[in-house]
Amino acid sequence: MSKIRRVVLTGVGAITPVGNNKELFWDSLVNGKSGVAPLTAFDHAEFNSHIAAEVKDFDPSLYMDSKDIKHMDRFVHFGVSAGLMACADGKLDMSKEDPFRVGVVIGSGIGGLHSIEAQCYQYKEKGASRISPFLIPRLIVNMAPGLLSIKIKARGPNTSVATACATGTHAIGDALRIIQRNEADVMVAGGAEGCITPLGFGGFCALKALSKRSDEPQRASRPFDKDRDGFVMGEGAGIVVLEELGHARKRGAKIYCELIGYGMSADAYHITAPDPDAEGAAYCMKRTLDDAGLKPKDVDYINAHGTSTQLNDQMETAAIKKVFGDHAKKVAVSSIKSMTGHLLGAAGGVEVITCAMTIQEGIITPTINYEIPDPNCDLDYVPNKARKAKVKVAITNSFGFGGHNATLALREFKG
């Protein structure tokens, strides 16, 4: 059997509710800044939640021309912009690359909901003749990697993932496998989401999934806290550049960290609720450790899915205990969703970036709004303040509706 190719992370791009570049994003997380605020996108009076983690001051014209902006959905604006940002951060010069050895995997949990809603109204009010010829390109999930590949002229593997809130992590894991199998040398991968619309927001309200702490927006998302009452809907994109180690070294790329393990599983339990026995999530983490050749005690930090819902946080805590045993009480665990809200299909992408920055900077981002301990959630959640710590190995979890589970392991790069 041929030796598995080593894969490193060399570029990051983030469009988030707490900052629209790597520096602002990271600074906000380290300082415990919340991106949750009263919802501004539409009139929300009839809904039972009135807050969201919206992207602020985003200008797609910095990355795309007016035609692409007009013809593409909001999630594509986010995904392509963050992808171009990641390529720039990684100093990826496509004029020096074999385009067939560079690929893109970007997913979205929901896709072009803005366009779907707008065109439904258009059809209902003005008839079939007024449906835009760009409706289908706007709404399909694969348009984010499709347009990015056009922008950077990447002609290698180009796919999309749609596994709800596990999307971004699955996309990056799939890109890892593509490079390991020698099907590409460079992959641009992650997730993008932009579905804070009346229908999308209303759907989650109807599920009773969203926090109703609307009078205290910045305190609403509180993973693992006893008084958590639901997640806060967010939007944005997190995209990374992955490379085969030799390729990265040859071009002198900055290396953030190495990706060393990937695991997937299904709960096979319920369409929205997590398995209370936590078997699927536990298997996913264990599979990742096995794939990486790690023991539980090797892990310094777990970037939790940590949605701030009662069932998810309790299940994830139980899964960590199943896998890590005695080490579960020693490993640091935190959820940036306490600050960013839940970016749905983009969450995994920004959380991989968080792990990479944590390893680089030696700072673990906090779980803010952790005030009242929950006896069912009794781990070290790095409450309220960032913590300086040497992190050699981190894992990140993502769990999606439908029972989709994904975990990635990242390690400090050593030549």
Averaged pLDDT, 314-343: 98
User: Which helix H or strand E contains 216, and what residues bound it?
Assistant: none
pLDDT tens sequence across 29-60: 999 999 999 999 999 999 999 999 999 999 99
Helix, coil or strand: residue 320: helix
Residues 237 and 269 in one domain: no
In a domain, 65, yes or no: yes
Average model confidence (pLDDT) for the chain? 97
Q: Are 364 and 389 in contact (CB under 8 A)?
A: yes
Per-residue model confidence (pLDDT) at position 415: 76
pLDDT of the residue at 340: 98
Place of tokens 């991989």: 352
- Tell whether the model's pLDDT for residue 343 goes beyond 60: yes
Q: Into how many domains does the chain fold?
A: 2
Domain extent for 267: 261-411
Whole-number percent of the chain with pLDDT over 70: 100
Do residues 229 and 103 share a domain? yes
Same domain, 237 and 350: no
| Residue 255 domain-assigned (yes or no) | no
pTM for the full predicted model: 0.98
Which of 231, 250, 269 delimits the end of a domain? 250
Q: What is the pLDDT confidence band of residue 2, given thresholds at 50, 70 and 90?
A: low
Residues 220 and 104 in one domain: yes
Decide which of 250, 280, 301 is a domain's last residue. Answer: 250
What is the C-alpha end-to-end distance of the chain, expressed in Å? 23
Evaluate whether 285 touches 397 at the Cβ level (below 8 Å): yes
Q: Is residue 157 part of a domain?
A: yes
pLDDT band at 221; cut points 50, 70, 90 = very high
Q: Of 250, 279, 304, which residue is a domain's last?
A: 250
Q: Are residues 196 and 309 in the same domain?
A: no
> Per-residue pLDDT tens for 21-36?
999 999 999 999 999 9
Helix (H, G, I), strand (E, B) or coil at 193: strand
Q: Please check the confidence at residue 1 and state whether its pLDDT lies above 90.
A: no
The verdict on 131 and 93 lying in the same domain is yes
Contacts for 308 with CB less than 8 Å, ≥ 6 apart = 211, 220, 221, 222, 223, 225, 228, 229, 230, 231, 232, 335, 337, 338, 342
Q: d(Cα 80, Cα 239) in Å, to the nearest integer?
A: 9
Q: Token pair for residue 89?
A: 């951060």
75 with 105: CB under 8 angstroms? Answer: no
Per-residue pLDDT tens over the stretch 74-115: 999 999 999 999 999 999 999 999 999 999 999 999 999 999
d(CA 263, CA 397): 10
Residue 334 lies in a domain: yes
CA-based nearest residue to 103, from 185, 33, 27, 208: 185
Per-residue pLDDT averaged across 146-169, rounded?
98
- Decide if 256 is inside a domain: no
pLDDT in tens, 357-381: 999 999 999 999 999 999 999 999 9
206 shares a domain with 72: yes
Q: Are residues 208 and 71 in the same domain?
A: yes
Q: How far apart are CA 363 and CA 164, in angstroms?
A: 29
Distance between CA atoms of residues 307 and 338, nearest Å: 8
Distance CA 8, CA 243 (A): 5
Answer yes or no: is pLDDT of 239 > 60: yes
Q: Tell me: the pLDDT tens digits for 289-307?
A: 999 999 999 999 999 999 9
On whether both 246 and 265 belong to a single domain, the answer is no
Q: Confirm whether 298 is domain-assigned.
A: yes
Give Cα separations from 348 to 268, 297, 363, 384 (angstroms): 21, 23, 19, 22
The CATH number of whichever domain residue 131 belongs to comes to 3.40.47.10
Report how far residue 72's alpha carbon sits from residue 32's, in angstroms, rounded to the nearest whole number.
33
Indicate whether 241 and 265 sit together in one domain: no
Torsion angle defined by CA atoms of residues 58, 61, 67 and 71, in that order, rounded to the nearest 10 degrees? -10
Tokens of 149: 């590949």
Which residue carries 């940002």 as its tokens?
85
CB 238 within 8 A of CB 13: yes
Residue 173 falls within a domain, yes or no? yes
Asked whether residue 79 is assigned to any structural domain, the reply reads yes
Which residues are catalytically annotated? 165, 305, 342
Tell me the sheet residues that pair with 136. none
Task: Give the whole-angstrom CA distance, residue 340 versus residue 26.
Answer: 11
Are 76 and 208 contained in the same domain?
yes
96/11 same-domain check: yes
Query: Looking at residues 222-249, what average pLDDT do you find?
Result: 98
